[in-house]
Amino acid sequence: MKVTHQGQSQHYRTVWFDPARNRVRLIEQRLLPHKFKIVSTADFRETARAITDMIVRGAGAIGATAAYGLAQGARAFRGRGLKAFERHLAKVYRTLAEARPTAVDPVSAMRGMLAQMTDETVGKRQEQALAAARQFADDDVAHCEALGQHGEPLIHNGSRVLTHCNAGWLAFVDVGSATAPMYAAQAKKKSFHVYCDETRPRSQGAILTAWELAQQGISHDIIADNAAGHLMQRGEIDLVIVGSDRTLGRTGEVANKIGTYTKAVLAKRHGIPFYVAIPLSTIDWELESGQAIPIEERNEDEVLSAWGVTPGGRRQKVRLANPGSKARNPAFDVTPPELITGIITPFGIFKPRQLWKHRVKLGHTTSGC
């Protein structure tokens, strides 16, 4: 997407690779919307920390970051022999896969890469690693563009759309998932309005989605997380579109940012269509129940404190909560299929329980029941 920074507009991807320096390049999302900065990671461990610390976040973006991190680790190998290389690569894989356990995109990306690294020499496998990582990133962009084409007809002139967290281009390599239909509708000159849940505790909606929409000139308001039900009750929301960090292909259950389940319950209560937009890499074809999805529990400090910017422009952390109180901080929840109107994929919109029926079309290649 184009970003206007210091008076100049330039197209950026969220993540890309610098082969000359063997570094992963990232937009530092924790500083937005107050500062736009590009950072680099020097090795695969730093790349994993960038995922864990949420320098980069969002399903497709961390998938591509993990892919580039695997290539980065492969290219850094200085030992001898395929066996030693494979042991090294297994360590790189584990480090990156464990960085954010709920999301499936990093594992999907790296498994796909390993399947393509089949040459008999280390040098060729290193080349194949980078080529496969770049292909994953390009596929992520193509999938998101297709989501926009399929989801755009859901948005009409005058539509009021609610979205939760950030499933925009910052959460992917480009374009985004939940925002893709919005950008496609804007390209068709449709007039609509977006409500961005603030999405505590890290406020990705207020910080990232609102910044994105402002950059693209889309009409929007930030609302408190608890305001959505009130607006639905008053007939001020027509449609909900969210993203997903893991969608189960067997059941249609959706793991997404904490609070998504609540919005789905509210939408069902008020008869409002609730859609989930996903690239193929977000589908988990293996797990058989949402109860088996590992739900990341992040540091309680994210709930008890908040970051902001002082009038002088200095970034500052402040304590919000009662001194001495503790907090729970689950980062994701699971929405059951009966609350979901449809899942927007690069190949069309499906009912949640139809994913398994259409699994071959949706990229599932492993045999099994």
Round to whole Å and give the CA distance between 54 and 62.
Answer: 9
Query: Exposed/middle/buried for 300, CB within 10 Å: 0-12, 13-18, 19+?
Result: middle
Report d(CA 366, CA 121) in Å as an integer.
27
Residue 277 tokens, joined:
């937009």
Token digits for 152? 């755009």
Instruction: Considering the candidates 245, 284, 301, 333, report the single residue annotated as catalytic.
Output: 245
Q: What is the spatial distance between Cα 335 and Cα 248, in angstroms, rounded to a whole number?
A: 11
Retrieve residue 102's tokens.
């709920």
Strands 23-27 and 2-5: unpaired
Which residue, 278, 295, 298, is CA-closest to 348? 278
Rounded CA separation 227/164 (Å): 12
Active site residue 197: no
Contact 210, 246 (CB under 8 A): no
Q: Which two tokens stand for residue 210?
A: 């609102």
Integer angstrom CA distances of residue 236 from 77, 193, 243: 56, 10, 21
As given in the structure block, the two tokens for residue 205 are 């909606």
Alpha-helical runs (H) found in the chain:
44-52, 59-75, 82-97, 105-116, 122-151, 180-187, 204, 210-216, 228-233, 260-269, 301-304
Task: Give Cβ neighbours of residue 147 (< 8 Å, ≥ 6 apart).
Answer: 175, 177, 180, 181, 277, 278, 279, 344, 345, 346
- Tell me: cis bond preceding 201? Omega within 30 of 0 counts: yes
* Residues that are catalytic: 245
